[in-house]
Amino acid sequence: MSKPLFTSLLTFLMLLSLTVSAQKKKPADVYSKPFIISSMKKVADWQLANPVTINEKNENDWARAAFYTGVMATYRTTKDEKYLNQAINWSQSFNWKLAKRFRHADDHAKGQTYLEIYETKKDPKMIADIQVTFDSLILTQKPGREDWWWCDALFMAPPVLTRLYSATGEQKYLDFLNAMFWDSYDFLYDKEAHLFYRDKSYFNKKAPNGSKTFWARGNGWVMAGTARVLQYLPKDNPAYAKYVALLKEMAASMKAIQGEDGLWRPSLLDANEVPHPETSGSSFFCYAILWGINNGILDKAQYLPVAKKAWEGLNSYVTPEGKLQWVQPIGASPDKVTIDNFQEYGSGAYLLAASELYKLK
């Protein structure tokens, strides 16, 4: 073989090798089922090995409770019993008790995991305290805007009530849910922006660019909570169509303001107020949109590109060890985020999104 021909062949082989290597790194790989399973295990395992110690305090149980919704999603997706056992051990550490703060929705969030374990184990003690808590709240009911006065509450408590109905067949839990949810909606929802204020302190608050202030994770809580309500709400329930309409309206808002990197900023209508990605809200949006696609509520042709772009963006901030970066710390407003920030609810939201992507057909 002549030297020029050998050189040309060598150059061709090198280019071919680089092309194959590049193809292996193409974003399309992040949609494969092996990648999704691997990433779920990696993120779940890292977070289990690196608990956020502040979440051990009762007032932040909700942060870990949100993570365990993702742990259960990992169990359902991977069929690995270790994740179910982790969730059981966590639940048993509370002796299956629900709320120290009786009326506070944050403390109700653990019930989502208790009830999901109950679906598998059918042990009545797992949901006994949930029933006692909500039976008492029904007897002393206040308006949604009083007990669920901040938008995060619409993730914490409502999905517990639909799962509780599914487990017991008791209509009163859905009646309570609908009365509470739609009163909070009337109080906090901006019908022009199709977004939720975090609480009443934001009704007249403006972002630096003059727009209304809407917090990404707060709206992520609502979208994810709405999807999780619909998951167990009977389609013949009088309020079913209202939840569907809400999910569609919020999805359209998210589509319109998605960042070029696929992620959303902490201040939804002013990307420059906190000019960094925020992965917990973005994960919840990705989850809710994928759930809507999988359940025939959101148009696949219109919304799958949104979800895929979000999924790619999220995975660009998962470290090789499984740490999800750019998670805004515990707070109540658009606030500073750094790449090193992580939190359990961020990992939980990522795992929920991954579980829905895995189901995509």
Per-residue pLDDT tens over the stretch 292-329: 999 999 999 999 999 999 999 999 999 999 999 999 99
Q: Would the pLDDT of 360 be above 50?
A: yes
pLDDT at 25 over 60: no
Q: What is the largest CA-CA distance in the chain?
A: 92
Closest CA to 39 of 357, 354, 361: 354
pLDDT at 58 over 70: no
209 with 270: CB under 8 angstroms? yes
85 class by beta-carbon count within 10 Å (0-12 exposed, 13-18 middle, 19+ buried)? exposed
Query: Where residue 99 falls among pLDDT bands split at 50, 70, 90?
Result: confident
Torsion angle of alpha carbons 251, 257, 262, 266, nearest 10°?
-100
Q: Round to whole Å and give the CA distance between 19 and 39.
A: 24
Q: What is the mean pLDDT of residues 82-109?
A: 96
DSSP 162-227: HHHHHHH--HHHHHHHHHHHHHHHHHHEETTTTEE-SSGGGTT-B-TTSSB--BHHHHHHHHHHHH
- What is the sign of the dihedral through the CA atoms of 249, 255, 257 and 261? positive
The Cα 247–Cα 249 span in angstroms is 6
Task: Compute the Cα dihedral for 218, 221, 227, 230 and give only its sign.
Answer: negative
For residue 335, name the pLDDT band (cuts at 50, 70, 90): very high
Q: What mean pLDDT is predicted for residues 58-81?
A: 93
SS3 string, 275-318, reads: CCCEHHHHHHHHHHHHHHHHCCCCCHHHHHHHHHHHHHHHHCCE
CA distance 183 to 206: 24
Domain annotation for the chain: domains and CATH numbers = 30-359 (1.50.10.10)
Catalytic residue ranges: 152
Helix, strand, coil share of the chain (percent; to 5): 65, 5, 30
Q: Give yes or no for residue 14 having a pLDDT over 70.
A: no
pLDDT of residue 100: 87
Q: What is the pTM of this model?
A: 0.92
Distance between CA atoms of residues 42 and 168, nearest Å: 35
Can you give the pLDDT at residue 8? 45
| Residue 243: closest CA among 178, 157, 188 | 178
- Spatial CB neighbours of 272, under 8 Å, sequence gap ≥ 6: 208, 209
Q: What is the pLDDT of residue 212?
A: 98
